[in-house]
Structure 1
Amino acid sequence: MAPNMTEEEAARQKAIDDWLPITASRNAKWWYSAFHNVTAMVGAGVLSLPYAMSHLGWGPGVTVLVLSWVITFYTLWQMVEMHEMVPGGRSLKKFHDVVCPNCKSIRTTYFIMIFASVHFVLSHLPNFNSISGISLAAAVMSLTYSTIAWTASAAKGVQPDVDYSYSAKSAAGITFNVFTALGDVAFAYAGHNVVLEIQATIPSTPEKPSKGPMWKGVIIAYIIVAICYFPVGLVGYWMFGNSVADNILLSLEKPAWLIAAANMFVVIHVIGSYQIYAIPVFDMMETFLVKKLKFKPSFTLRFITRNIYVALTMMVGISIPFFGGLLGFFGGLVLAPTTYYLPCIMWLIIYKPKPFSITWIANWICIVLGVALMIVGPIGGLRTIILSAKDYEFFS
């Protein structure tokens, strides 16, 4: 209880904390950290890695994949250590087209609405621990569809006309494609945005801080990330070259039942990852409403605010469903800071490592690379969106 807080105020504060999604339940185990982090990170972005490789080429592509894994693993460790101090619509369409190729085509808009309708229900689960089953299923799905993606690619074999040269022929085109690819990779390695909220669900005491079990879960998660990312990115590019689609599953047609299953697994995973990313937003909105605007915590308040959020995200998805461009744009602009360099800036400010020491140099390398990524990723992504929008009809 704060020094100047009355018992009545303290009781009200506790009631609010027990209602809000992040602070409501803090009894998560270390394995919750593992599958929550896998669900948050290994999303549909992994399916764009072969496409990113096609714009980067073998040498730069492998370097970027490995370097991103190392940097994000390091910055995630920093966030865990510092904690105590402080696109699913297209996969659903692909599933329909594969299972029923002769059926009447259904608009992408309708698939996005079907996807959103699930969240009008699931979004009313109160907190992180209440979605642990969904998150576990999503984590299993991410490993499954990633494995299907690279094994089906390998089974299909290297295409007869495979070409590993850059698809763009002009220097400007190559440059912009590289920018987009870097944004795609940044999006694929995102997941740091919710790591503190995940860690906040783990019990913590001075004797047994939450960073211990959290870090154990993160290690498992990053092993799974490597198992998913590297085979998909490398095998997918090896088989298809620069003709690979921005979603590797779209380049695969047979066996039909397996590709249909993989696309449905993507849908299930994205349902889980949507909830993982939405709960911190719900917490922010509900905290503002009950603490700043003094609304009474209630089912009605939660029902209205969460449904509005789901409706807004549905409208955004319907309006701009450009998978590759959006990954590059948001990967660079929104996710690169928290994933690549903001933890490093915080580390330098808080711990003040000796200038030019190994830690100091490592952090500054991450900062420089992260800032560069934040600048170039959105440029390439925005160009891709503009080019895609030329032939796009809204609500089609």
Structure 2
Amino acid sequence: MQNGGTHYSAFHSVTAVVGAGVLSLPYAMSELGCVSHDRNCIGKEVTFSTQHNPFVSLNAIYTWLALYSPASMGSDKPSDQNSNNFSSIADEKSDTRLQPAEGSEDQQVIDERTERQKKIDDWLPITSSRNAKWWYSAFHNVTAMVGAGVLSLPYAMSHLGWGPGVAILVLSWVITLFTLWQMVEMHEMVPGKRFDRYHELGQHAFGEKLGLYIVVPQQLICEVGVDIVYMVTGGKSLQKIHKTACKNCKPIKTTYFIMIFASVHFVLSHLPNFNSISGVSLAAAVMSLSYSTIAWAASVHKGLQADVHYGDRASSTAGSVFNFLSALGDVAFAYAGHNVVLEIQATIPSTPAKPSKGPMWKGVIFAYIVVALCYFPVALIGYYIFGDKVEDNILISLEKPAWLIIMANAFVVVHVIGSYQLYAMPVFDMIETVLVKKLNCKPTTTLRFISRNIYVAFTMFVGITFPFFGGLLGFFGGFAFSPTTYFLPCTMWLAVYKPKRFSLSWLINWICITLGVLLMILSPIGGLRTIIIQAKNYEFYS
């Protein structure tokens, strides 16, 4: 039929020309050096920029040709043909950008970046070695958890009393085992990806920036706080050995003993990664079980004290309340292993057939059995024997026999040496990551030597300046360990898995969160008060 008028020709031409390809015009304009939303762009000469990828620019030219070619203008095919053409162009563009041609400059840049990233990961402490066995997990967790905190548990019991004390000890053991299981499970919850660091899991749960802001400050406070407390613990244990072994010798300042203890870490801190400190960690785990056994066995041997009393050791109601709150922090400090659990699991090899959570959980169960064998006898027997007269470190209450006290304190020194290194390793990883990835420093032995020595010197200086052992336990235990141990894993679990409201999982997690938040708010108050009281009669660097 040839009876169509001019208006037929008009809308046929419009239909032929104006197809889905019009949607590609902003893309083509932007790729050819002319931004589509810029009014001044119209009428300008099209020029190529040397910054453009030539393949992308060719795609843009092809888009223009596809729109205005005679074939397309005279075609009777539906407009979705142009859409298909544009889809193939977009796919080609996407493929060009995501998969640069082999041997191209872009591919070389990506290869160099990937190679550099791999070298950095092989150099950083957490990701440099992944050949650990399940028993590495066991003694690393024992070393991380059974530390100086166990020696303060009888003292905490004297403030809590029998009923609340036993309940809080058991409840803390159950809750922290549950939250530790959550972290082990979440380590590889995304197929093909491992969350090797606590803050990486936080970023996955809360977002890239918010996850860092939530996790990193708390983890740093916790790990640096532990190292400071262990500086004080190691120094005071050395001082106790000196006093017991040489009662007629001239007294030596606590400051010097802390410096002696720190001198060991100026050497050990240069071990590169977790697996390299496995021997130190194993020795520390054995020592923790040994001095815990000595603590309760020597208490049994000493026998029930004649003037033992289990009442309130404070002289006022306010004192009782503050002491109770501080004791909560002491208990929280005793369960502090969560801050390094993901970093420990990162050292275990993992495959789809054999994920790392299997051997990791096996090690955790073993570690928690050891924890129970250490904590409950020391706390209950120590409080039963000495009552409200027990010291904040039970080994101080045990004055005889001298050789046993010396041995127990020597075991404590060995243990806190290993624990210090275990908690320092994630801090070293953070420091070195910032230096190498953010500040583009070259990953060298010199860089590691300087940065780690500065960290050890810092913790030594703070420990020397504020050697308030009991108060430090309560303050750091509540302020830092409560979030990272008691409720942050539960919060991440809810954010990631989103269990049904009022389901068993939802209720358990919210109970843990509520208890953890209360612990975080209340216990630092008591710990801070203890520090203030002890500081009244303290002379700096005495």
Match of 1:29 in 2: 133
| Distance in 2 of aligned mates of 1:107 and 1:169 | 31
Match of 2:309 in 1: 163
Q: Which amino acid aligns with 2:251?
A: S
Residue pair 1:33, 1:214 contacting (<8 A) in 2 also: yes
Q: Note the C-alpha offset of 1:276.
A: 0.2
- What is the correspondence of 1:187-206 to structure 2 with a 5 Å cutoff? 187-206=333-352
Q: Note the C-alpha offset of 1:81.
A: 0.4
> Could you tell me which of 139, 148, 159 is aligned with 1:44?
148
| Distance in 2 of aligned mates of 1:395 and 1:48 | 24
Residue pair 1:344, 1:366 contacting (<8 A) in 2 also: yes
Q: Which amino acid aligns with 1:235?
A: I
| Distance in 1 of aligned mates of 2:363 and 2:414 | 22
| Distance in 1 of aligned mates of 2:522 and 2:530 | 13
Match of 2:180 in 1: 76
Match of 1:213 in 2: 359
Q: Note the C-alpha offset of 1:325.
A: 0.3
1:392 aligns with 2:538: yes
Q: Which amino acid aligns with 1:98?
A: T
Q: Which runs of 4+ in 1 moved over 3 A?
A: 2-5
Q: Note the C-alpha offset of 1:101.
A: 1.2
| Distance in 1 of aligned mates of 2:352 and 2:256 | 51
C-alpha RMSD of matched pairs (Å): 1.0
Q: Note the C-alpha offset of 1:169.
A: 2.8
| Distance in 1 of aligned mates of 2:499 and 2:241 | 52
Unpaired runs of 5+ in structure 2?
1-97, 100-106, 190-194, 196-232
Cα displacement string for residues 80-134 of structure 1 (whole angstroms, at most 9, x for unaligned residues): 0001133211111111111111111110000000010000000000000000000
1:350 aligns with 2:530: no
Q: Note the C-alpha offset of 1:358.
A: 1.5
- Between the two proteins, what is the percent identity of the paired residues? 76
Match of 2:252 in 1: 106
Q: Relative contact order (alpha carbons < 8 A, sep ≥ 6): 1 or 2 greater? A: 1
| Distance in 1 of aligned mates of 2:533 and 2:234 | 22
Match of 1:12 in 2: 116
| Distance in 2 of aligned mates of 1:269 and 1:249 | 15
Cα displacement string for residues 240-268 of structure 1 (whole angstroms, at most 9, x for unaligned residues): 00010000000001111011100010000
Match of 1:338 in 2: 484
Cα displacement string for residues 128-149 of structure 1 (whole angstroms, at most 9, x for unaligned residues): 0000000000000000000000
Match of 2:427 in 1: 281
> Could you tell me which of 168, 176, 181 is aligned with 1:64?
168
1:142 aligns with 2:288: yes
TM-score, with length taken from structure 1 = 0.98
Cα displacement string for residues 176-207 of structure 1 (whole angstroms, at most 9, x for unaligned residues): 00000000000011110000100000001222
Match of 2:202 in 1: none
Q: Note the C-alpha offset of 1:360.
A: 1.1
Q: Which amino acid aligns with 1:76?
A: L
Q: Which amino acid aligns with 2:175?
A: I
Q: Note the C-alpha offset of 1:279.
A: 0.5
Indicate the larger mover: 198-207 or 126-135: 198-207
Q: Which amino acid aligns with 2:518?
A: A
The number of aligned residues is 395
Which structure has the larger Rg?
2
| Distance in 2 of aligned mates of 1:101 and 1:202 | 48
SS of equivalent to 2:188: helix
